[in-house]
């Protein structure tokens, strides 16, 4: 098995069906499997789904266990050399899956590669960021990245200067369509479940880079992404708070022991202040 396509669904079943139909329309050449995990969706009919997609491996959770744990469940039952994390609110374009597999074959040092995400209206989604290092986060919360979007230092976190037209090594492509190498999972572990919704792929990519691997973005694989189809159902304020709480947990895990106390606590305070300002 070359490719395992993993999709986690929560109350986005209509979009999930469209996603699976796009894979059927544009299947990869490589031997592949699809694993779907449903997190107790209110709009999911297991019997109907199994009849329509009998070839899909299905895990149905009795409760919403979060994105990280659901992905880990799927990885545990999959067998592909590569694992493609794919959101249910996406549709793959012709050749996209082949492009991602070929890229990983051609770059044995790659832990992961992200695809070019476009909205249904054709606009390119800004889906690549740097890791949330202290300086980058400071520039973001001070608003300097918005004032100087073309500055590669001040706009570092959201990479506001990047044009999405070049194949490039990056820190963290969005996990909406991210192919990862199983051998790296075997080496550094799967997703940390203390990041149930946000920053789980950021944490994994950071660990992969710390282990000496590289992460890439390629514009040659194009995927349509509706965006926030699941998270928007939980409410904007709640998701902003969860995102900032996850960022604080990321800092506690990776930076607390490497930073002096006052600087660390100042950054964490800024993170939570950002939550308050966005409510």
97-138 confidence digits (pLDDT tens): 999 999 999 999 999 999 999 999 999 999 999 999 888 878
On whether the CB atoms of residues 74 and 8 are closer than 8 A, the answer is: yes
The 10s digit of each residue's pLDDT in 217-231 is 999 999 999 976 555
Q: What is the pTM (predicted TM-score) of this model? A: 0.91
pLDDT category of residue 237 using cuts at 50, 70 and 90: confident
pLDDT category of residue 258 using cuts at 50, 70 and 90: confident
Tell me which residue of 11, 265, 278, 233 sits closest to 141, measured CA to CA. 278
**DSSP alpha helices (H): ranges in the chain?**
13-25, 46-52, 67-77, 96-106, 134-141, 144-147, 182-188, 200-210, 236-254, 261-277
The 10s digit of each residue's pLDDT in 180-198 is 999 999 999 999 999 998 9
The predicted pLDDT at position 233 comes to 57
Q: Which residues fall within 8 angstroms of residue 79, CB to CB, at 6 or more apart?
A: 1, 4, 33
The predicted pLDDT at position 37 comes to 98
DSSP 257: G
pLDDT category of residue 277 using cuts at 50, 70 and 90: very low
Q: How many CB atoms lie within 10 A of CB 192?
A: 17
The predicted pLDDT at position 52 comes to 97
* H or E element in which residue 181 lies: strand 177-181
Domain boundaries, the chain: 3-127+164-229
The predicted pLDDT at position 276 comes to 39
Higher per-residue confidence, 155 vs 237: 155
pLDDT category of residue 234 using cuts at 50, 70 and 90: low
Superfamily of domain 3-127+164-229: Spore Coat Polysaccharide Biosynthesis Protein SpsA; Chain A (3.90.550.10)
Mean of the pLDDT values across residues 45-61?
97
* C-alpha span between 169 and 114 (Å, rounded): 10
DSSP 234: G
Tell me which residue of 73, 65, 6, 63 sits closest to 33, measured CA to CA. 6
């Amino acid at each position: 098995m070359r490719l395992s396509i993993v999709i986690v669904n929560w109350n986005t079943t209509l979009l999930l069906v469209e996603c699976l139909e796009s894979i059927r329309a544009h299947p990869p050449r490589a031997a592949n499997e699809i694993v779907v995990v449903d997190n107790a969706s209110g709009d999911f009919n297991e019997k109907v789904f199994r009849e329509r997609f009998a070839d899909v491996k299905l895990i149905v959770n009795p409760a919403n266990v979060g994105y990280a744990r659901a992905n880990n469940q799927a990885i545990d039952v999959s067998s592909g050399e590569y694992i493609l994390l794919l959101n249910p609110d996406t549709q793959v374009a012709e050749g996209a899956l082949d492009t991602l597999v070929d890229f990983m074959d051609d770059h044995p040092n790659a832990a992961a590669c992200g695809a070019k995400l476009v909205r249904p209206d054709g606009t390119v989604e800004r889906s690549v960021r740097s890791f949330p290092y202290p300086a980058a986060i400071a520039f973001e919360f001070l608003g300097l990245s918005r004032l100087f979007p073309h500055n590669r230092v001040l706009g570092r976190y959201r990479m506001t200067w990047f044009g999405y037209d070049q194949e490039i090594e990056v820190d963290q492509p969005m996990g909406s369509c991210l192919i990862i190498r199983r051998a790296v999972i075997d080496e550094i572990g799967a997703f940390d479940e203390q990041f149930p919704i946000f920053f789980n792929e950021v944490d994994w990519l950071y660990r992969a880079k710390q282990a000496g691997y590289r992460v890439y973005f390629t514009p040659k694989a194009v995927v349509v992404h509706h965006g926030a189809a699941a998270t928007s159902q939980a409410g904007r304020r709640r998701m902003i708070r969860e995102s900032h709480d996850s960022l604080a947990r990321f800092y506690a895990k990776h930076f607390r022991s490497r930073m002096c106390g006052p600087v660390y606590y100042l950054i964490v305070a800024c993170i939570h202040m950002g939550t308050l300002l966005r409510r």
